[in-house]
Structure formats: structure tokens, C-alpha cells
Chain A
């Protein structure tokens, strides 16, 4: 379960604080598929980043009681100066899982350096 409780996110800009998200509440159960639609700047990415935990909400909190991936398909998560294989090992080490059996799996769709 991912519970988003009274979450607001403000960013400081040169023209003062801008509220991107305001008092957001929602619950996502395991296996549920949720699509988020919105204009440019509506806060879609911000919401994903908050759920992923790479940013902290200005107000409210997010409770994660199931495994939550880091935000995929954004630029981040990998280190450009490491090879693909070293990146794979790094991520496995961070999440405390052995990498031996993941190498073939990744090799299957990507070429590792």
C-alpha cells in the first residue's frame, strides 16, 4: 500500500513560493494500475518523485508498506561514469540482493559493458 496523506509540495522560485501539489490524498493498493494525466507543470513528475522518495513533501507524508521502485524512465538512478555492469551491481548492492542471477536477465535485453 502507498498512502499519500495531505501532501503538499512547494518550490521556491524568484517570484515567491509556487505550490505544485496542494493537500493531496490517495491510496494505491498493490497490483493497482494508476495513470496520471495533466498539463505541463501540473505536478505529475513531482508526484512520482515524492512517491519514489527522492524528494520530501513540504507538508504531509507518504507511507509505503510495499516495495516501491525508484522512479524509472527519468534520467536518474545510474552513474554515467560506471559501466552498465557496474551500475547493475551497484543497484543490487543498494537494495541488498545478489547480482549474479540478475546479470543474465539484464543481458537478455541490454548489452552490458
Chain B
């Protein structure tokens, strides 16, 4: 059974729509010098502020959705709503078509569900007796639940199933993987899956304390001088449908692509570092390709997790070189930064756009190969011709706790 990607919605610091992302990703770069960040860094908390929190301007959207849903909403929920609305448009689905259907909202997030009212927590831990009403609202901000509320507010009565996956940086990849598998067994009409994460200053300081942030405020995947990641926020939601239902709904229409495999393995090496031998990635890939009956030479390109941290990129790079010597590698965190629980889905969307454009985005930020790894990802926007009729790609994600998750993706035949 085939699971099709029939709609997509994305927000990141690159832009607030699919077209904005495509425009930047597939325009020529000059050795990583051209950076097209749509939104400027914003200082949020004066002297206590991290120097460069990159936030998406969604103030208008927050006001709009709060009015529509008649309740306060977190940034996390609003980011998800923006991506969800775009995914509906992209899938050519009017909201009324969800009426009476069986719908799954399977989303990933990380910090977004840990309570986002920082002023409340600050007052609470300092014994300043805060009014808990704002935080009480935040505790109920499960983004999957927010999407359901949106549907109900728009008059949709349907059977909803909600899941919120919190697997650190692999959250969205796992949400997509689980959704694609459950779509096969649970008879959902639609599964909207992906991830959303707002940037929180406590997360920023946590990553800073682990010395994982780039001192140059940009991510340089696989580069010799990479020195860490750029923490950002974003949301990406994909509409998944079974092929036969999609074909019936939109006769003759083409999907963006398919999710044809998913595996996740936890390596028991360290809480916050990958094993140098990439044990988790190796095992997950072996299982994934084995089940799908593919070999590494069938893979046209890989969208790498590649955060720009010395440890992650060394592990991942060495793994790719050894196991996928003829496969093109691209990494997009130089554009988007690392939006944690959303990034896996964002990168799957970029793979789908690559299928459509027949081009791979450049690895922005990569200038010089690290001789200790030896990997050279695509440096410029690169056209590709699939090895076979239909392009095949892998999207990898690696997260805290040793989680390694991989999705196997397929484009559509001409």
C-alpha cells in the first residue's frame, strides 16, 4: 500500500510559505555567501536575552487564530495552524471536505509542550506567586489538539485521533513515520503529520550550556570550520493519504511523492552525543533498506540531519561516505537553522520540492571539506537525474537520547 504526500505547509526563518522556501532553496548561491533570511533576528528580553533568537513574525497570525478559536494560543500552536492551513490549500482540500472523515493529527514537538509562558515559570520558581491562568492555558496547548479545535471552530465534525510525539530532534520524522505506517493499518482518510516548535530562551541556554551553538550564528553543515548549530523555530505539516483514496478524490492529479519506509533505532551510547561509529544510523538504514528491498545504490540523494555541530556531522558524514559513496548529500540547516521538533518534516518537504524541481538545494554554509571526514555535499543548486525512473531519497534525523530515525521517500513518475 502506498502513502502519498498530497499537501504540504511550511514556515521557517526562510519564509512563511512553500513558494517562499522553494524560491530561496533553488536559487543559485555563491559558495554559501548568499543568505536569504526572510526575518531579522529579534531581541526579546533585553539584557537577559540570547543575542540572536531568530523568530518568525507571526503576530498577525496569532491575533487572527486567537480570534477564530476564541482562546489564547501559544506561538507553537499558531505555527502549527499556519502550516496546517497551507497544507489544506496545497492538497486542494476545502476544510468542509474533512466533514465526517477519520482524521489523524500526528505532530512532533520538543520544548513547545513544556510550558511556554516563561514569565510565569520565572515568577513561579522565584516564589513571586504568579497568577497561574496564563500557564494553565499553556499546559493545554497540545498542538495536535489546537488543530482539532481549529477544525471544530470551522464547523467540521469528524473523528479525530491525536498524537503528540516528543522525541527531541527526531520528533517530526517519527511523527511522519508513524503516521505513514498507521495510515496503512488504521484506515484514516487523512493523516496530517509533521512538527512544530517555537524557540524558547530556556532551550537556547540549554544548547548553549552544552556548547552546541554556533558562535557565528549560522550553521555550516559538514564544513571544516563548523562550530555548532543555529537554533530557530518553525513548523511543517504534510497531508498524507492512501494512494487509492487520493486517486479517487482527485482523479488524475499527482501527489508530491510518497513515504515508502521508516525506521527508528535508539543507540545506547550517550544522552546528547552520537556514537562515533554511527551505530544507530547503520542499524536503522540496514533495516529500512532491507524491508524496502533497496540497496544503497538505489538512493539518488540524502537530506542529511547535519546540524553543523562537530560531533553530529563527523558521525553522519563518515557514515554516508562509507555506505553511500555514489549518493548526493544535501543539508539545509544553513538556510533554516535547527527548528528542533519541526525540522524533520521541513526537510521531507524540501525533498518533495526537490523531486518536483529535479534539483537539490545547496548545502549553504559549506565552504571547505573537513579532512577528518572527507565528505563533500552538494555546494550549489544541483540538477539531478534519477538512477531509475522515479527518484528515491532518504531523510535522516538524529536526536538527544540516541534516537536515529530515517524516512525513505519516493518521487512520482513522469
Query: Is chain B found bound to chain A in the same assembly?
Result: no
